[in-house]
Amino acid sequence: MPGGLDMPRFDSKTSLLSQLKRGELQLDQQLMRALEVSASKPDISPEDEGFPDSYLTLALYRLNTLLTRMVDLNESRYNLFHEYKLAPACEPEQVVPGKRLCRVFETAVALAKPKSVIGVGHFLKAIVTLSLDEPAMDVMGATIHNTFSVETLLWGMGHTAWESLKEAPEVARLLEALRGRDPVQDHQYLLTVEKGRLVFRAVSVLDPFTIQMRDNPTTELGLLTHFQDAYSGFLPSEILELEDLINHPRVKESELQRFFEMHPRIFRMWDYRDVHSQVFLTREDDGDLIPDFIMVDPLLQKSMILDLKLPAKRVVVGTKNRRSISAPLQEAKSQLLRYRDWFDDSHNRAKIKERFGMEIYRPRIGVVIGRRSEFENEFERQQIAYDNSQIEIVTYDDVLEFAKRRILLIQRANRDQTVRAAPQII
C-alpha cells in the first residue's frame, strides 16, 4: 500500500516527525518550513499538552501561503495558545503534538490519500473539517472549539476565542472559502544552483511591470523568488520588525533570539554560511554551556560564537576621561571566553564535529549589545575595540544598518507610472 495509508492514530507522546516517518509520510516544503519556524515546547495545560495546531496555522499565515492572501489578521491579540514566539524554542525533531494537532493530522492524512505528502492545503482543510463538520463543545455558554486554529482566526479577526462561528460569520465564510480551494498549491519553478547542485526552486508570480529601454518600453512578468538567502536580502517588513524589537523598552532576549533564528541571513554580515542556534556544549562536572549562536563555514574552516544582550544594556560607562566597558559587556566577554575554551578539549570538538561539518578550534567570539549612540565619538569606539580585541562588539544599530543595505525592493507600476527596474537588490 502507499505510504501512510495503514498508519495508526497519532499520539501526543512521540515526536511528530518521527510519527510521520514511521508512517512513510512527509510534509511539503511550506508546511515543513512552518514547523521549523514555530518549533517550540509550550505549556498550555490543562487545555492541552504539547504543540498546538494554532502554531502551525500562524506560521503558515506569516509565510505567505494561501491563508495569507485570504485574510488580514491582527497579530497583536495572540497569547501563548496561539503565538509560538512566547514559547521556549526547540528543534523541529523535538516537537511533540498536542491532542488537537493529532486530530488535525489524522484528518489531513485522510484528505491526502493516496499520496504520502501532507501539504498546506491538506492541513488547512483538516482545520476546516474539524471546525465546520464536527460540533464544538458548549461549556457554560462558552464555545470550546475542536482546534486552536479557529481561536487564532477568531482572535485575529476581532473576536474572542470562546465565541461560536455563528457569532463570527466572517470567520465561518473564511473557512468555507478554504474548503473550496484545491488542497495542492500549483507552484511554478525556476532552475537554480544550490550548494553546487542544480535544483528547482518555487516562485510566486507578481504583477507585470514595465522596463523603459530608450524609446521601446517592454512589459515583463515579476517573479518573487527564493533567492533571499543567497544574497542576504531583506524585505521592508523584516526591517520594520527588527526596528520595533530594538526600540521596544521591554523587549526580551528570547524575542530577539527568535527573530534572528527566523532571519539568519542577518549573520551574513560575518560571512558565515551555516548558523546554529542554542547548541548544548555539555560538561561533566558543571552545567551545560548554551551559546546563542554558533556560525561556521566548513569550506573556509572558520567559526564564530555569538551572544545576544539587550539593546538597552550599556556598552561603555564612566566619566569622560575614564571610560571602560560596562559590567554587562564584561560579563558577556567572560561568558564567551568560557564557550571558546570548551573547544580547546579535543574530546569536546570530536563530540559535535559531525553536526558542524568541521572540527571547531579557537573560534572567534562576538556579542550584539547596546546602541551606537553610547560611544562619544568614532575614536572612542575604535579604542574600546582595540582594548578588547578578543571579542567583536557589535551594536544593534550596526545589525540594522547591515539589513537596510541589503533591502529587497520590489517596485510596482502604478496606473500612470513606469517602473524603470525589475526587483533589485541594493
Decide if 127 contacts 43 (C-beta within 8 A): no
> 342-346 long-range CB contacts below 8 Å, 24 or more apart?
342/281, 342/283, 342/289
User: Do 88 and 214 belong to one domain?
Assistant: no
Residues 238, 59, 312, 362, Cα dihedral to 10°: -90
User: Do 28 and 161 belong to one domain?
Assistant: yes
The pLDDT of residue 35: 93
User: Do 192 and 165 belong to one domain?
Assistant: no
The pLDDT of residue 190: 58
Is residue 157 one of the residues assigned to a domain? yes
Number of domains in the chain: 3
340: Cβ–Cβ under 8 A, 6 or more apart, which residues?
Answer: 305, 362, 363, 365
The pLDDT of residue 165: 92
The reported pTM is: 0.47
The pLDDT of residue 218: 61
Is residue 413 one of the residues assigned to a domain? no
Closest among 376, 293, 298, 370 to 336, alpha carbons compared: 293
User: Do 193 and 263 belong to one domain?
Assistant: no
Other CB atoms closer than 10 Å to residue 1's CB: what's the count?
8
The pLDDT of residue 159: 93
Decide if 400 contacts 374 (C-beta within 8 A): no
Return the bridge partners of 317, or none. 324
Average pLDDT along the chain, 426 residues, taken 10 residues at a time = 52 94 88 91 90 93 73 87 91 94 94 88 92 89 91 93 91 85 52 56 54 59 53 68 89 91 84 87 87 91 95 88 88 95 94 89 96 89 91 94 68 33 35
Phi, psi of 70 (to 5 degrees): -105, -15
User: Do 22 and 169 belong to one domain?
Assistant: yes
CATH at residue 361: 3.40.91
- Does the bond joining 169 to the residue before it have cis omega, within 30 degrees of 0? no
69: Cβ–Cβ under 8 A, 6 or more apart, which residues?
Answer: none
DSSP H stretches of helix in 232-326 = 236-247, 253-262
Is residue 3 one of the residues assigned to a domain? no
Q: How far apart are CA 159 and CA 170, in angstroms?
A: 10
Strand bridging mode 293-297 / 274-277: antiparallel
The pLDDT of residue 186: 43
User: Do 296 and 327 belong to one domain?
Assistant: yes
Is residue 346 one of the residues assigned to a domain? yes
User: Do 141 and 208 belong to one domain?
Assistant: no
User: Do 297 and 336 belong to one domain?
Assistant: yes
User: Do 250 and 395 belong to one domain?
Assistant: yes
Q: How far separated are the first and last CA of the chain, in Å rounded?
A: 52
User: Do 150 and 128 belong to one domain?
Assistant: yes
User: Do 218 and 110 belong to one domain?
Assistant: no
Is residue 159 one of the residues assigned to a domain? yes
Is residue 364 one of the residues assigned to a domain? yes
Is residue 6 one of the residues assigned to a domain? no
User: Do 156 and 247 belong to one domain?
Assistant: no
Q: What share of the chain is helix, strand, coil (3-state, %, to 5)?
A: 40, 20, 40
Residues of the domain holding 147: 16-179
Is residue 412 one of the residues assigned to a domain? no
Q: How far apart are CA 178 and CA 192, in angstroms?
A: 32
